[in-house]
Every structure is written in C-alpha cells, then in structure tokens.
Amino acid sequence: MNQLSVASSVSLYVLLALMGLTVALLWVAQFRILQGKVFQNPDGSTDDWHEQKAHYGIAVADVFVACPANIIGIALVFLAPRWGFYLLALVSFWWVWANVMTTATSLRFYNPRSNFMMWFIGYPFGVLVGLAYIVWTVIHFDAIYLP
C-alpha cells in the first residue's frame, strides 16, 4: 500500500469513510428491523418483517454477515492490508447486488415519493460506493495485491 500516490490514498480513505458511515446507518436500521420495529424507507415503503418475511432474512444477512464483514474489512486495510482489500472487494459485490435489488424494487413497486436526494442515498448510493471501490481496486490492482 506504500506504493499508492497521495491522490489514490485520499480516494481510498474517502471510500472507506463512505463505506463505514453507510454500513453504520444500515446496521442500526437492520438491527431495529430484527427487533420488530417498522422502518420507513425514503420511497414511502416500509420494511416490516411481520408483513414481509423476506425483510427478516435480509436484516439477518446484513446484521450478522455484511455489516460486520465491512467493518472488519475496513479495519484490516490498516492492520493487514491485503486481507482487508480482499474482504472489501467481496463486500463491495454485496453492496452492488443488494442496492441494485432495492433500487429496482423501489422504482418498480413504490415509485419514490420522497425528494431525490433522500431516495438516492437510500438506494442507488450503495451501488455507486460498491462500484467505486471495485473500480478503485482494478485500477490499483498491482499496488495492493502484488508484492
């Protein structure tokens, strides 16, 4: 990781901060769903596993797999960089898949009723963060994966 330019390092830290902040908010929201609370989405829909059982499974996957893996990956970037980069690459695919799924569902079934910025942060923002990290990894592949 010492081979990265200042601009590359700064862009990595920005991506890590965005991932960390987003995953912290998601972790709290999904944990509340596991507790049985209803979560109001930015598109006017609600996540309530009492009415849609799939929300419970998604919340379990986020709370016990995706969110911890993301936090561990961020920590490993500083402690054992190669393992952190591997783990964050895997988590980024999760970000892309899960957020494409929720964005498509929001557009198809709920026709967002909130302002664009709130909707964007709630849905396609995760796709952009995941894709940005994947692109960053591809651009810097030699510096982060090869000795």
SS3 letters for 27-85?
A: HHHHHHHHCCCCEECCCCCEECCCCCCHHHHHHHHHHHHHHHHHHHHHHHHHHCHHHHH
CA–CA gap between residue 61 and residue 71 (Å, rounded):
14
pTM summary value: 0.85
Type of residue at 66:
A
pLDDT-derived band at 147 (thresholds 50, 70, 90) equals low
For 97-145, how does the pLDDT look when each residue is reduced to its tens digit (9 = 90+)?
988 888 887 777 777 776 777 778 778 889 999 999 999 999 999 989 8
- Could you report the per-residue pLDDT of 40-96, keeping only the tens digit for each? 877 777 777 777 777 778 888 889 999 999 999 999 999 999 999 999 999 999 999
**Which residues partner with 50 through β-bridges?**
none
CA quadruple 117, 120, 126, 131: dihedral, nearest 10: -100
- Domain limits, the chain: 6-145
Residue 40 phi, psi dihedral angles, 5° rounding? -85, 120
Neighbours of 53 (CB within 10 A): 8
pLDDT for 86-104, tens place per residue?
A: 999 999 999 999 888 888 8
Token digits of residue 22: 């987003």
